[in-house]
Amino acid sequence: MFKQFHDKNQITDIVCLLNEKEDSSKFAEYALKAGVTWHWLPLQGASISYLSGKETQILIIQMAQDVVDLIKKDEKHTILVHCSAGCHRTGFFAYTVLRLLGHDPVRARAGLLMMRRETGVDVGEHRLQVCEDMLVSHSKV
């Protein structure tokens, strides 16, 4: 699956949000073989209580800022963000990146829908509100 997507989209970076208990090794191996830069942020799910945790938010903001820096350095980066279903963790993280890039909440939400409809629909308004609260509390917007 990744090979076909990579060949079509010329992926430069993969952000993996699978946690330690989920098998991310095949994606890491693919990245290594394909010459794709691998970034790993092992999120333990996407429950509101977990995403609201201070330590979790610091890790998310740090990785999201790294992705923003990559994009600002070279807009040709094609970054694949994934977790197990590509909805909750992926949507939360991608929305965070879009907000850090300067998109307002409406444009960031539209961006999720453009990237992958299922992600934009299933991420959940409650998670996006946690993201907004996180960005404000960490003075990122």
Task: Say if CB 79 and CB 12 are below 8 A apart.
Answer: yes
- Chain centre to alpha carbon of residue 112: 10
Segments making up each domain of the chain, as ranges: 2-137
Q: Report whether pLDDT(4) > 70.
A: no
Q: What is the pLDDT of residues 68-122, one digit of tens each?
A: 999 999 878 888 898 888 888 999 999 999 999 999 999 999 999 999 999 889 9
Topology at the third CATH level for domain 2-137: Protein-Tyrosine Phosphatase; Chain A (3.90.190)
Q: Report whether pLDDT(51) > 70.
A: yes
Query: Residue 129 — very low, low, confident or very high, per pLDDT cuts 50/70/90?
Result: very high
Q: What is the pLDDT of residue 140?
A: 63
Instruction: Pull the structure tokens for residue 114.
Output: 């453009």
**Cα distance from N-terminal residue to C-terminal residue, the chain:** 36
In whole angstroms, give the CA distance from residue 63 to residue 41.
Answer: 7
Query: Residue 30 — very low, low, confident or very high, per pLDDT cuts 50/70/90?
Result: confident
> How crowded is residue 111: how many other Cβ atoms within 10 Å of its Cβ?
17
Amino acid at 127: R
In whole angstroms, give the CA distance from residue 121 to residue 123.
Answer: 6
Dihedral sign for Cα atoms in the order 39, 41, 47, 51: negative
In whole angstroms, give the CA distance from residue 59 to residue 2.
Answer: 26
> Which long-range contacts does 31-35 make (Cβ < 8 Å, 24+ apart)?
34/2, 34/3, 34/6
